[in-house]
Structure 1
Amino acid sequence: MKHTIIVGYDQSPSGDRALAQAGREAAWRDAAVTVVTGYHAVAVVSPMGYMPVDYQSTVKDIAGKIAGDGVQWLRNRYPGMPVDSAVIAGPTADALAEASRDADLLVLGNRGRGGFSGLLLGSVSMRTLTLASCPTMIVRGKPREPADSIVLALDIEDAADEVVEFAFAQAALRGARLRAVNVWDLDWDGSADQDSTDQDSADDLDTAKAQAVTDIRKTMETRLNPWQTKYPAVRLAVEVADGTPSAVLTDLTEDADLIVVGAHRRGDGHLGMRPGPIAHTLLHHADCPVAVVPRG
């Protein structure tokens, strides 16, 4: 089955980066790309309102021109790659989520046209993410040379196969190292029984911490071993980090090409995802692209 990648494109600087990333992802997968541009069909709500008769067709034509420019850029950059366009009326987030329903990957920029500049994720990208039903990549961070490194934010208490396999597959496609990281706050100094000198001793705390790290690492290795067997060429590093998960993982993105995190599917009968606190932090502050993979 031919793989398909959907990319939202609006000719903004962020959209240009998403388009370039979609091209790279398609080249790695031997996939087809669909460049999607949405436009709003504005209705006249007042009898006194005036709307030129050709307004809607003009707006659609502009959107078609934008999508067509994106298609041409990809074809010039990747001759022979199957590239098509789709121009969809309606709210942009809904259009992108619908267009990507059966896709292998949806690629979005950090912020579209008209958005305020800065670090935070744009509202359209965030809403699209909450409606999407396929893995979604938000292209963030400063453009730089490849770091040959992908980070997997691994939740050992609820490690989802979909998230782990996506990370391994990405590392295999890119020939990159995969860093599976689990973060624990190991600052236990204030949690010991103050009346017990044994428990309060630095040596005992260090021993307990070391044992905890060993146990966590063994659990991670057990969870990851089947995927390492499936992807034997992937260079896997299993890491246990100390600190606040959101802060530690955000720091790791400074030297990564991609960070992969999971998000639970909505359980109310609707398509889409519910990104948790760690995913939210990464989506707003990561210094590399963030892939959010639906799970559960």
Structure 2
Amino acid sequence: MKRSIVVGYDQSPSGDRALAQAGREAAWRDASVTVVNAFHWIAVGRPGAYVPMGVETSLKDAADSIAATGVETLRRHYPGMTVDSAVIAGPTADAIAEAAREADLLVLGNRGRGGFTGLLLGSVSIRTLTLASGPTMIVRGTPREPTDTVVLALDVEDPGEELMDFAFTEAALRGARLEVVNVWDLDWTEAAGSDVLARAKEHAVADIRSALERRLNPWHAKHPDVHLVIEVMDGMPSAVLTELTASADLIIAGAHRRGDGHPGMRPGPITHTLLHHADCPVTVVPRA
């Protein structure tokens, strides 16, 4: 089956960046793109209130126009690409998540047209992500020249096959190096100032690296052309990983699927921090 990408588009500056990124991702994958815009009209329930005729039609027409602009933009930049639109009535987050249910990747902007400047991540974007059933990219950070580096935040004790699969595939598609990072707070060894504890730290780092290599080797064998770098780093994971995004093209993190039988993800505290503070796009991959 041909791969597919869904992008939420609202003609905002953030939406324009998401659209451009969706085009690049589709070109790397030889995928089709669906440009989605949702309109939501809540009817006035107060008795005697006047609701102008044609309100819903006007909202749909505006959504059609926005989606068509996105389609036209992508077709102009990628003449051979299959690009379609979908205009859906209903709450924006729910509509976009449902439209992307079978997609290989959902791409969203950091903040929509209705977002307040003070918000680090728009409420629609974060709600869409928590409802999404597949890998979801939030396009954020400072626009800059590519560094050809993809960072994967990996927990050696609970890495997730889906996460490693996506990371190696993404790095291979981009022709980028994959930097797999595991962060442990090992500063207690330095604070103690003991040679014995310092050696214990060295052994701990070596054990973590060895465990990471065992986890990653099968995936590296499937993608031998990917330049793999493994880093075991000290510090608070959220702070260290956020700092790394200043020199990365993309950071990939995982989120457990909801356990209540409904589609969607539950981003943990590290992923949540990256979504609000990363200086590059963040892709969240759902996992068991």
* 1:264 alignment partner, one of 251, 256, 263: 256
Contact 1:108 1:137 in 2 (8 A): yes
Please name the residue that 2:125 is paired with.
125
The one-letter amino acid of 1:214's match is: A
Give the whole-Å Cα distance in 2 for the aligned partners of 1:138 and 1:87: 21
3-state SS of paired residue (1:183): strand
The one-letter amino acid of 1:268's match is: D
Please name the residue that 1:89 is paired with.
89
Give the whole-Å Cα distance in 1 for the aligned partners of 2:118 and 2:244: 20
TM-superposition CA deviations, 1:67-104 (whole Å, max 9, x none)? 00000000000001000000001100000110000000
Contact 1:42 1:56 in 2 (8 A): no
Matched, 1:154 2:154: yes
Contact 1:22 1:33 in 2 (8 A): yes
Contact 1:153 1:260 in 2 (8 A): yes
Q: Which runs of 4+ in 1 moved over 6 A?
A: none
Shift of 1:189: 4.3
TM-superposition CA deviations, 1:147-194 (whole Å, max 9, x none)? 110000011100100001100000000000000000000112499xxx
Normalising by structure 2, report the TM-score.
0.98
Give the whole-Å Cα distance in 1 for the aligned partners of 2:189 and 2:83: 57
The one-letter amino acid of 1:53's match is: M
3-state SS of paired residue (1:111): coil
The one-letter amino acid of 1:233's match is: D
* 1:279 alignment partner, one of 262, 271, 281: 271
- How many residues are treated as equivalent by the alignment? 288
Q: Mapping of 1:1-296 within 5 angstroms?
A: 1-118=1-118, 120-189=120-189, 202-296=194-288
Contact 1:150 1:257 in 2 (8 A): yes
Q: CA distance change for structure 1 residues 75 and 161 in 2, over 3 Å: closer, same or farther?
A: same
Shift of 1:118: 4.7
Give the whole-Å Cα distance in 2 for the aligned partners of 1:132 and 1:257: 22
Q: Gaps spanning 5+ residues in structure 1: where?
A: 192-199
Give the whole-Å Cα distance in 2 for the aligned partners of 1:173 and 1:190: 40
Shift of 1:51: 1.3
C-alpha RMSD of matched pairs (Å): 1.2
Give the whole-Å Cα distance in 2 for the aligned partners of 1:27 and 1:291: 17
Please name the residue that 1:196 is paired with.
none
3-state SS of paired residue (2:225): coil
TM-superposition CA deviations, 1:41-62 (whole Å, max 9, x none)? 2212012211111111011000
Please name the residue that 1:194 is paired with.
none
The one-letter amino acid of 1:79's match is: P
The one-letter amino acid of 2:44's match is: V
Contact 1:175 1:234 in 2 (8 A): yes
3-state SS of paired residue (1:173): helix
TM-superposition CA deviations, 1:104-126 (whole Å, max 9, x none)? 00000000002112561110000
| Largest Rg, 1 or 2 | 1
The one-letter amino acid of 2:36's match is: V
Q: CA distance change for structure 1 residues 45 and 201 in 2, over 3 Å: closer, same or farther?
A: closer
